[in-house]
Amino acid sequence: MRQIFRFLTITILCGAFWIFPAAATPADIAGDGLAAESEEADIPDTPVSYDLPAYEDGAVKVIGEVQRHIVAPEDTLMDIARAYGLGYVELRAANPGIDAWAPVPGTALQLPGRRLLPRAAQEGIVVNLGEMRLYYFTEDGEIETYPIGIGREGLQTPLGKTEIVRKLVRPSWYPTPRMREENPGLPERVRPGASNPLGEYALYLGWPAFLIHGTNRPWGIGRRVSSGCIRMYPEDVKTLYPTVEIGTRVTVVDQPVKLAWLEDGLYLEANPTRRQSDEIETEGEIPRRLLDSALPKELEALILKEAKSGGLKKKEVDWTTARATFRARSGMPVKIADAKEPEPELSDETEDTAEVEKTEDSDT
């Protein structure tokens, strides 16, 4: 399900949920052949830069609202995520420790629908790898957002700017030489159909061999499982495809940690790192060994810089909440400082009274 928001006025459109033929099962995940490897913990995490660009003037900084879902019998987190337009890791990060396949009926789940927007030009398509989410800024002032699947370790989706150069309905899939070397059973061409991993719609990027496309494995959305392409739920790419024109700008950034001033204060949003995401997928939460014990100096400096831009001093930032938010990595924005109260304006009468008092003081 897509989520649509308008610039300046934020509106949540809650339409009917998609109906799926069957619930996800562990076999759906295993069938990808892309489950996290046990040696993954030995691979260094992807470096993160906290040198974020400033928001452009007039930029929308936040969209959506946190919602709640009461688990029903036979619910799985996979199906709940898909019904609400969320990715798998995104939902598990907001609800650590919940059994993915048999959540207890009656459990209240947080649905992380509120999110700070990435710091990037708000035009065309913006992909934020750090939260595994795509944003589409339409010509008529709406913001659509969708969960995505992205490239796994060693096959990361590239960063930078490109554009849509081609569109195709029911594309054929041509496995790369590397894929056929790893899996000699792959044919040179996979025609459109249920076995085609590109799904029914494909948007080709200016970077050769990289696409935004559907999938025949929807349970990989919100996970790092692709060979670098950007995967979408079939129903999401079906909605996006006709509205995106050839030549549409595409910007890919990696901002797992976001910071923004909203009307009532300064907010911090922290999404899981790659290694943390792998653990959330398999274990349902971030293990103690991967929890951050302190804020990185670069992030602390960025928070202080943003606080000062709002007229605050270092002591006016709730550093305890900032550290807890960064450590939890729930993917939901949390306020870490209150907005500074504006100075009261003096009325003409108040100014006259002050002037009289000043004159009397000078006479004495």
Sheet strands side by side (includes 230-231): 3-6, 142-147, 133-137, 124-128, 249-253, 160-169, 201-205, 211-213, 230-231
The verdict on whether 229 is a catalytic residue reads yes
* Given 133, 213, 223, 275, the catalytic residue: 213
Pairwise CA distance, residues 120 & 59, whole Å: 9
CA atoms within 13 A on the CB side of 146: 29
Nearest to 114 by CA among 48, 66, 168: 66
* Given 60, 116, 225, 229, the catalytic residue: 229
- Positions marked active-site: 213, 229
